[in-house]
Amino acid sequence: MIVNTRPTEIADKTNDLLNELKCDFIHVPFTKIEELEPPASAKILLDKLSDYDAVIFTSQSAVKYGIKFVQEKCANVNHIPIISIGIATQRCLNELGISSVVPKTYNSEGISKLITKKDYRKCIVFCGDKAPQLLSMTNADIDVFPCYESQDKKNIDFAKIKKLDESIILIYTHQSLEILVKNFKPYEMEKIILICASERIRKLASNYSFKDCVLAKSPLDNDILNAATKKSN
C-alpha cells in the first residue's frame, strides 16, 4: 500500500496519478500549508523590485501566496527574469500567464548553478517560513520573502499506516520525515519502504532505523510514483 503524505493543499495531482495507475494507496497528510503575512521588512524589498536580477519561487505554495505581491508592484511580471524550482512550480506560474525557467536539477543546488551560469548578483526568493537552503549555496546577494508556513498536522491517524502489511511511504520533505520518526518505533520503521524526493532526505532517513530508502529520479510526481510502483510490484 502506497501512502501519500503530501499536504492536502497540493496533493490532488499525486492522488489523481495514483488513481490513474490503479495503485492501492491512502492519503495521510503529515503537514498543512498556511498563508503567512510577510513581515514589513520583506514587503519593503519589493519597492525596489527592479534592483533584482531574478525572482525565485521555491514551491507551488510560494507562487500561490507570493505572486500577488509581485503583481502589485509590477504591471508586467514577464519583464522580470523568474526562476521556478521545478516543473510543478513552473506550471503554477504558467497558469497565471507568467513565464519562468527551471534549473537542470529541481532543487536549491540546481538554482544555485543557474544563478552562477546567468551571473546573477542579486535575487529575491519567495519561500516558506524556514530559511531556504539556497542561502548557503551561492555567493549572490539573496533576500527572502516568506509568505507561507508548513505546519505539522495534528491528530494524524498513524494507526492507519501501522496496521498495513506493507507500507510504501512517499516522503517529500525533511519535516515529514521527522514527523514519521517521532511517531514510529525503530522496529516499525524497519518494515517501511521510504520513497525519498531528494538525496538529502534519503541520507537523513538512513540515519534512523529505516532499512529500505529509495531515492526517486527527481521530486516530480511521475518519478516518485515510478519508484513507488516498482517497489510495490
Q: What is the pLDDT of residues 79-88, one digit of tens each?
A: 899 999 999 9
Residue 97 Rama label (left phi>0; alpha psi -120 to 50; beta): left
pLDDT tens for 122-150 read 999 999 999 999 999 999 999 999 999 99
125: cell is 526568493
Q: Which CATH class is domain 2-30+154-232?
A: alpha beta
Q: What is the average per-residue pLDDT within 203-228?
A: 94
Q: Distances in Å between the alpha carbon of 201 and those of 40, 52, 114, 122, 213?
A: 33, 31, 22, 29, 9
Stretch 89-112: mean pLDDT, rounded? 95
Q: Which pLDDT value is given to residue 78?
A: 83
Percent with pLDDT over 70 in the chain:
100
Which pLDDT does position 20 carry in this prediction? 96
Q: Which fold has domain 35-151?
A: Rossmann fold (3.40.50)
Tell me which residue of 54, 167, 165 sits closest to 111, measured CA to CA: 54
pLDDT class for 114, splitting at 50, 70, 90? very high
State which amino acid sits at residue 121. R
Question: Which 3 state secondary structure label does DSSP give 163?
Answer: coil
Rounded Cα–Cα distance for residues 101 and 48 (Å): 22
| 2-30+154-232 matches 35-151 in fold | yes
pLDDT value of residue 77:
87
Q: What are the extents of the domains in the chain?
A: 2-30+154-232, 35-151
* Average pLDDT estimate for 46-75: 94
Nearest to 226 by CA among 218, 156, 74, 208: 218
Chain mean pLDDT for the chain: 95
Nearby residues of 115 by Cβ (< 8 Å), 6 or more positions away: 54, 83, 123, 138, 140
Q: Which three cell numbers stand for residue 233?
A: 510490484
Residue 166: the pLDDT is: 87
Q: How far apart, in whole angstroms, are the C-alpha atoms of residue 76 and residue 197?
A: 34
Confidence band (pLDDT; 50, 70, 90) for 38? very high
**pLDDT recorded at residue 232:** 85
With pLDDT > 90 as the criterion, what percentage of the chain qualifies?
Answer: 93
Quick one: pLDDT at residue 233? 76
